[in-house]
Amino acid sequence: MTKFIDLTLSGISDGAIYAAVALALVLIWRSTRIVNFAQGAMLMITTFIASAVINSGGSYVLGFAVALASGFVFGAVVERVVVRPIEHAPPLNAVILTLGLYTLLVAVAGMIWGNTPRSFPAAFSLRGYKVGGTTLLFTPNDTFIVLVVIAVAVALALLFRATSVGLRMRAAAFAPEVARLLGVRVGRMLTLGWALAAMTGALAGVLVAPSVFLGPNSFDPILIIGFVAAVLGGLDSPPGAVVGGLVLGLALSYVSGYEGSALVPLAALAILVIVLMIRPTGLFSATKERRV
């Protein structure tokens, strides 16, 4: 029973991270119908940048802020420079392009920082809470992770629902041509969407790095799992991404706890295949409204 509770707790904190990665993928999919397979590599780069700041004497908070800021800029640059030219190309082009970007970034990171994973500091203690003599598998740092992800999800929701920029971004995503006819600068909205997405990804990178270590390929599994979470949530819906991330975090935590961590990637694959076969639009996506 304690094991179950432990697995549930650690599933929640893993799930929060998957949710952040899934959010990053969903934000981009919504606005450009592209799955950004380079996301894992982009957040790897921003985490390396944060690591460099911290190692050269900067505080954790500064490193954290630099990661988010560099993620924002990185996302915008990627959208402007490589994604913009293939916006209207067939979907396969975008798939290959983002995979190429992934490959390039992994190689560049290896050149600059080497291929041996290094440690990355956590914001808070990694020692589990003590409840009546037993130590839980949930640490102050996990609390931090969950709270930060909740805060970001709420901030994004507010941005989209309650601000005029958010309204313009949604319009640009749902109906780019109509949005242009209403004076929305759709190109800028897409850039902003990529920037916000990459920032959310950068956040996930900094949060997960203490437990997976920091190396060019450290975040590959998280990208795959984030993709599964996004698909689980419908790929189109930010709340779906959060729910998908949490569900997947719990499921994979149980698999890892009871069957061994080697099965985690396979379990993610199995969940993905089942979801795609049963309901290719995702389990949590709202059914499409009538369109005339």
Closest by Cα among 16, 54, 291 to 152: 16
**Shortest distance in whole angstroms from residue 255 CB to another protein:** 11
Among residues 65, 108, 159, 283, which is the contact residue for another protein, using CB under 8 A?
108
Site for another protein in 231-260 (CB under 8 A): 231, 260
Q: What are phi and psi of 85, to 5 degrees?
A: -65, -20
Helix (H, G, I), strand (E, B) or coil at 228: helix
Contact of 238 with 195, CB cutoff 8 Å: no
Closest by Cα among 66, 182, 213 to 222: 213
Site for another protein in 155-214 (CB under 8 A): 164, 167-168, 170-171, 174-175, 177-186
Residues with Cβ within 8 Å of 244's Cβ and at least 6 positions away in sequence, in order, are 18, 19, 22, 228, 229, 230, 231, 232, 233, 234, 282, 283, 284
Helix axes 220-232, 2-32, angle to 10 degrees: 80
Q: Contact letters (x/-) for another protein, 49-78, by CB under 8 A?
A: ------------------------------
Site for another protein in 19-48 (CB under 8 A): 29, 34-35, 37
**Shortest distance in whole angstroms from residue 28 CB to another protein:** 11
Cβ neighbours around 84 below 10 Å, total: 14
Among residues 7, 49, 53, 101, which is the contact residue for another protein, using CB under 8 A?
101
How far apart (Å, rounded) are the C-alpha atoms in residues 147 and 137? 17
Cβ neighbours around 234 below 10 Å, total: 24
Site for another protein in 80-99 (CB under 8 A): 82, 85-86, 88-97, 99
Q: Which is nearer to another protein, 19 or 186 (CB)?
A: 186
Q: Which is nearer to another protein, 27 or 231 (CB)?
A: 231
**Shortest distance in whole angstroms from residue 51 CB to another protein:** 16
**Shortest distance in whole angstroms from residue 2 CB to another protein:** 25
Contact of 57 with 119, CB cutoff 8 Å: no
**Shortest distance in whole angstroms from residue 248 CB to another protein:** 12
**Shortest distance in whole angstroms from residue 277 CB to another protein:** 7
**Shortest distance in whole angstroms from residue 15 CB to another protein:** 18
Among residues 24, 268, 284, 285, which is the contact residue for another protein, using CB under 8 A?
268
Q: Which is nearer to another protein, 138 or 227 (CB)?
A: 227
Closest by Cα among 20, 22, 50, 49 to 36: 22
Among residues 2, 4, 59, 114, which is the contact residue for another protein, using CB under 8 A?
114
Contact of 210 with 120, CB cutoff 8 Å: yes
Among residues 2, 55, 59, 103, which is the contact residue for another protein, using CB under 8 A?
103
